[in-house]
Every structure is written in structure tokens, then in C-alpha cells.
Amino acid sequence: MTRPTQTPSPTGLKRAGFSSGFGVLAATLGSAVGLGNIWKFPYLTGANGGAGFLLVYLLATLLIGLPVMMAEITLGRTAKANPISTLQALTPNRQPWWLIGVAGMLAAFLILSFYSEVVAWVFAYVFKALRGSILSSDPQVTEAAFNALISDPLQALLWQWGVLLFIGGILLMGVTKGIEALTKKLMPLLFLLLLLLCAVSLSLDKAMEGLAFLFKPDFSKMSATVVLTAMGLAFFKLSLGMGTMMTYGSYFRDDQNIPQTTFRVMSADLCVSMLAGIAIFPAVFTFGFAPAAGPALVFITIPAVFSQIPAGQVLMVVFFVLAAVAATGAMLSMMEVPVLILHERWGLSRPKATLLTLLLLVLMGSGCALSNSTLADFKLWGLNLFDLFDVVSSNILLPIGGIFITLFVGWVWGFDKFRQALSNHGQLHNEKLVRAVFFLLRYVSPLLILIVMLKGLNVF
Ligand code: PHE
């Protein structure tokens, strides 16, 4: 079968693109599934009261996440360029919609700064797991091990720089595609291991308490901030609002089914998160951890679950290696936003763009790495740098990006062009779906994001 030729980019940029549907799914899934699922989802669910938070998160994913993801990918595929050039090329007049791309770049730097530190903890845990020193169901032991790691400035910095060097190496050697394929291959393994963890966790004494926390909503814990946090998580987990999906969309083939890819990515992403939740919360209640332990949650509870099974130590090593692989895929996709902008807009070669991005990240990231030690007292609005970068990106920048992306598609680009592009130039005839998605993009998502943001930030 001959492949349809790719339509050229209106920006005149030349692109290699993904050669197969497999590559597309691998990369998009690799971006979505990461520490957002394994680390952030459980800890935020725990800190925000459990099932009620989960419910809002699900609603945000369906009403906002899905349409925004389709919008981003469709825009990117149509223009086949970095987010700034994409928006410039598709804006009929000289309105500055390209600023979405600039905000996205800022968000990418903020997220990468703290994310690289969490990846650093994961890398460090591979080695801790190898030594067996953390395999315990005693909260005091696992908490002490985690605190020792994050409160040691040297360890925190060196592990983070190691992570950045590793990611830089992958990008500079040009083996990104290989890593994405590897991620896809290893993902089922992560899935299986999580399933095993769930089975173990469900056999624990207080499993039912854990499940009730996760699935029985208690709306007394609900507040505008909780709703905003849940929405921010929906953006973060699906890599939305900062141009990552637009950038990946720019590598999509013209015949790729965007709605189907989006549904698949969302479902897989959701499954991984749910499994992580089911693996963690029964253990939290059985062994007496605090559900609201914060960013430490996964790192202190997972060893407790592994301590309950034979060969737990080996399996825990495998778990953290798989988490590291998933996190690497997500980091690569975040890096792609600034690197591509510096490359295509500023004319830097890709290696130079990569090095510049890494240099900035070492500077900004170090601030996050030291947030639990040297810089612990340096706070803005009551938050240390690590938390500040996280909150500003997830609860402010990504939703703002989302508002402007939906407004752009809904009101500037318009229905006809969106339908053309999303339906593969008429090859996929699903009029109802296109209309429903467009309706969400034009009216529902932007308003919803705006209200949740303003309320959550106490503006009114
Ligand atoms: N979605 C990724 C995760 O869950 C994080 C991410 C956010 C990646 C934003 C790209 C852009 O880990």
C-alpha cells in the first residue's frame, strides 16, 4: 500500500516526522505516562482527600483534557512546526497567538526544573533498592531513608545533574526515537508490575480502607483549590497546555487517526494512574503512613509493599528502573519544546539548542534540588522553589495555555478548518464527534478552565 504523501508545512520548514502509527503512539504515550502517574497522581490524591479529588480529575480529563489534546495535536500536525511558528502560520491576521508558544517554553523550563529532581530521586532509589536498605514496612525506616536523600544538598544536586546529563546524552546522540520505542516496549512490563503490586496491596489488612479512600467521595474535603489542583493535574498528566502535544503533533502523519490516538493515550494514562493508586493506598492505611505525606508518598510506601513479597528487593529495583524509563520519555517530550523553538526560531543547531536548554536547567533545577536543604527557608508565597515551580506551572501556566489554545481553535481557526484537519481531510467521517469536540473547545473548556482558575486562585 502506498502511503499518502505528507502535506507540506505552511511555514516552509522541512520535517522528518514519525514513519509509522506505532511511532506516534509510542511517543505520545511516552510523553503522557511518567511521574505524573506514578508520583504526582497518588500524592495529590492523598493530599486532597481521595475520591472527590479523583472524580474532579476525571471530569477535567474528559471535558478539558481530551478536547485540548485533540486541538493541540491537530494544530501541530497542520503546521508541522514548533508551537510559535505553528500559531503564527495558522493565525490569519497579525494577532499575537504565538505567545502561547512562549508561555509554553516558560512552563517547560519550570516543570523540567522540579521534574528532573523527582527523576533524580527515582534514579537514586534504583541504587538504594539494589542495596536493599529501604525495603521495609516501617514508616520510620522508609521516611528516614527518603529524608536523608532529599535533605543532603550534595546528593540532591549530583543525582539531578546526572539525570540532566543522561537526558542531554540521549538528545545529543540523536537516539530519542529509540528511547521512545523502548518506552513502548517496557510499558507493558510496568503495567504488569503495577498489577502485581495491586494484588499484594489488596491482600493487606486494611485494603478496604485504602480503596474506600480512593473510591468513596467525601465532599467535605472539596474546595476551590482542590478543584484547581485536580484540573492542573489533568493538564500535567496528559502533557497539555504548553505545546508538548502540539510539538508531537507536528511529527504526526497525515493519515494518523487523532481522536483514536487521543482516546488510547488517555485510557492508558488513566489505567497506569489507577493502578498506582490501588497499589499505594491500601499500604498507606495498613502500615500507618499519612495519606497526605506529599511528594514523599510513593517513595516511602512502595518499599513497604515490596517488603511483603518474596523477591521484593529485585522487583523493587525493576520497578524504579521502569519508573525511570517512563520519566525519561516524559522529560524528552518536555525538552523538545524549548529545543525545537531555539532550533527553528533562533536558528541554533539542535546540539547547541540542547546544550543551552540544559545549561539553563542546571541553574534553575539546582534551586529545586536544594529546596529541602540549603534553600529550605527561601520561600515565596509560603512555597519553596520546588513547590512554587510545580504550582505555578500546573495551576497557572498550563491552564492559561489551555484557555488560549481552546479559544484559538474555537474562535479564530474555526470549525471548517478544524474539521478538515481533524478528520484527515475528510477521510474519517465522524461528524458528530468533530462537532462535539468543537463545541467543547469553543464554549465549554475555556469557560470551565477560567472559572476553576479564578475561583481556585481566590480571585473572586
Ligand atoms: N505527562 C508527564 C507525566 O505524567 C509530564 C509532562 C508534563 C510531560 C508536561 C510533558 C509536558 O509525567
CA distance 201 to 93: 57
- State how far the Cα of 35 lies from the Cα of 32, in Å rounded to an integer: 9
Nearest 5°: the CA angle 390, 391, 397 is 95
| Average of per-residue pLDDT across 50-59 | 95
Residue whose CA lies nearest to ligand 1 atom number 7: 239
Render pLDDT for 391-448 as a digit per residue (tens, 0 to 9). 999 999 999 999 999 999 999 999 999 999 998 888 887 889 999 999 999 999 999 9
Q: Which atom of ligand 1 is nearest to the CA of 330?
A: 8
pLDDT at 190 over 90: no
Confidence of residue 379 (pLDDT cuts 50, 70, 90): confident
For the chain, give the mean pLDDT: 90
To 5 degrees, how large is the angle CA 153–CA 156–CA 162? 130
Alpha carbon distance 69, 56 (integer Å): 18
Predicted confidence band at 18 (pLDDT cuts at 50, 70, 90)? Answer: low
Measured in Å, residue 125 CA sits from the centre of ligand 1 at 21
* 452 Cα: distance to centroid of ligand 1 (angstroms): 21
Tell me the CA–centroid distance for residue 180 and ligand 1, in Å.
14
The most confident of 21-25, 174-178, 255-259, by mean pLDDT = 255-259
Percentage of residues in the chain having pLDDT higher than 70: 95
Residue 19 has what pLDDT? 60
Cβ burial of 382 (10 Å; 0-12, 13-18, 19+) is exposed
* Distance of CA 141 from the midpoint of ligand 1 (Å): 30
Distances (CA, A) of 307 to 147, 210, 315, 455: 19, 18, 10, 43
Residue 20 has pLDDT above 80, yes or no: no
pLDDT digits (tens, 9 = 90+) for 133-152: 888 889 999 999 999 999 99
Q: Give the confidence band of 4 by pLDDT, cuts at 50, 70, 90.
A: very low
Ligand 1 lining (C-beta closer than 6 Å):
31-32, 34-37, 111, 236-237, 239, 242, 244, 330, 333-334
Give the residue-averaged pLDDT of 449-455.
95
- Give the whole-number percent of the chain exceeding pLDDT 90: 66
What pLDDT, on the 0 to 100 scale, is given for residue 227? 96
Separation between Cα atoms, residue 188 and residue 288, nearest integer Å: 31
Mean pLDDT of 14-36: 78
Q: Evaluate whether 158 touches 280 at the Cβ level (below 8 Å).
A: no
Mutational test site, ligand 1, from 239, 273, 397, max ligand atoms within 8 Å of CB: 239
| Ligand 1 atom at minimal distance to the Cα of residue 236 | 7
Probe target for ligand 1 pocket from 31, 44, 105, 394, with the most ligand atoms within 8 Å of CB: 31
Q: Which of 236, 325, 395 for a ligand 1 pocket mutation test, highest count of atoms within 8 Å of Cβ?
A: 236
pTM for the whole thing? Answer: 0.92
Q: In this predicted structure, what is the pLDDT of residue 175? A: 64
Which of 226-235, 305-314, 380-389 is predicted most confidently?
226-235
Distance CA 36, CA 41 (A): 6
Pocket test for ligand 1, best of 333, 340, 392, 393 (most atoms within 8 A of CB): 333
- pLDDT, average across residues 196-200: 90
Q: Using 50, 70 and 90 to split pLDDT, how confident is the model at 376? A: confident
Atom number in ligand 1 closest to CA 36: 4
> What torsion, rounded to 10 degrees, do the Cα atoms 390, 394, 400, 401 define?
100
Q: Indicate if the pLDDT at residue 275 is higher than 70.
A: yes
What separation in Å is there between the alpha carbon of 343 and the centre of ligand 1? 22
Cα of 69 vs centre of ligand 1, distance in Å, is 13
Lowest mean pLDDT among 17-21, 268-272, 326-330, 410-414: 17-21
- pLDDT band, very low/low/confident/very high, at 14 (cuts 50, 70, 90): low
Q: What is d(CA 382, CA 409) in angstroms, rounded to the nearest whole number?
A: 37
Which pLDDT value is given to residue 176? 67
Q: Is 132 or 159 the better-scoring residue by pLDDT?
A: 159
Q: Give the closest residue to 226 by CA, choosing from 60, 48, 51.
A: 48
- pLDDT of 3 above 60: no
**Residue indicated by cell numbers 509509522:** 20
> Contact at 8 Å (CB) between 259 and 24?
no
Residue 178 has pLDDT above 70, yes or no: no
Please state the atom number of ligand 1 nearest to the C-alpha of residue 326. Answer: 12
**C-alpha distances in Å from residue 455, one per residue of 54, 229, 231, 240:** 19, 11, 12, 21
Written as one letter, the residue type at 21 is G
pLDDT band, residue 90 (cuts 50/70/90): very high
| Number of the ligand 1 atom closest to the C-alpha atom of 35 | 12
CA 237 to ligand 1 centroid distance, Å: 5
Which residue owns the Cα nearest ligand 1 atom 6?
239
Which residue lies with its CA nearest to atom 9 of ligand 1?
A: 239
| Contacts of 41 by beta carbon, 8 Å cutoff, 6+ apart | 233, 237, 273, 276, 277
> Looking at the predicted structure, is the pLDDT value of residue 453 above 50?
yes
d(CA 243, CA 248): 8
Query: Does residue 309 register a pLDDT over 90?
Result: no
Please give the angle made by the CA atoms of 150, 333 and 92, to the nearest 5 degrees. Answer: 135
CA of 238 to the centre of ligand 1 (A): 6
CA of 206 to the centre of ligand 1 (A): 32
Ligand 1 atom at shortest distance from the alpha carbon of 37: 4
Mutation probe of ligand 1 site: the residue of 334, 390, 396 with most atoms within 8 A of C-beta: 334
Distance 327 CA to ligand 1 centre (A): 8
Distance from the alpha carbon of residue 98 to the mean position of ligand 1, in angstroms = 22
